[in-house]
Amino acid sequence: MVVAQEKIMWQEPLEQKSRGRNPRPAKKGSRFAKGKSILVLALIVGLTAAVGATTIQLTVVQGAEVRALEKEISTIKARRDLLQMEADKLRAVGRIESAALAMGMEKPAGIVYVAGAVPSVKNQKVAPSTQAATQPTQVKPTVLQQFSKIFTSFFASTQR
């Protein structure tokens, strides 16, 4: 395939061509449009900053609550362990035997049979009305709180 080249001859110099063009006149409403654009941009930045601040605040508050609850859990576990150790000491056969001897009881000789029936534990079911009364009422979070919670959970999941 043969392609012919086209020759372009410029007859006018570049300076003459630029003088011939007239720049577009400025519109009268362009200042108002610029101000409107700046106002819209400021509004978008403000909303983004508000959402970000709310997200950070929720994250910090919930983090503090988690730390406080973890500290409370550890103190309760330590207290439970101490109570368990104390209960084990009190249930120890040697301690019971020494306490009984200190009260003036004597050790029986031989095998001792005790008459009586062992009471059985029956399953007790709680009435549904008491279960419903013990549950606290839930407060519905606002739309901003729900959005911030979703936004925070997204970033929290990416950090794991």
The answer on pLDDT for 32 being more than 60 is: yes
Distance between CA atoms of 7 and 2, rounded to whole angstroms?
16
Residue 90: other Cβ atoms inside 10 A: 10
Mean pLDDT in the chain?
Answer: 78
Distance between CA atoms of 61 and 57, rounded to whole angstroms?
6
**Which residues neighbour 149 within 8 Å (Cβ) at sequence distance 6 or greater?**
58, 141
Residue 44: other Cβ atoms inside 10 A: 10
pTM of the model: 0.39
With bands split at pLDDT 50, 70 and 90, how would you rate the model's confidence at 148? confident
Q: Given this model, what pLDDT does residue 146 score?
A: 83
Report long-range pairs for 157-160 (Cβ below 8 Å, ≥24 apart).
Answer: none
The 10s digit of each residue's pLDDT in 82-127 is 999 999 999 998 898 898 899 998 887 878 777 777 666 565 555 5
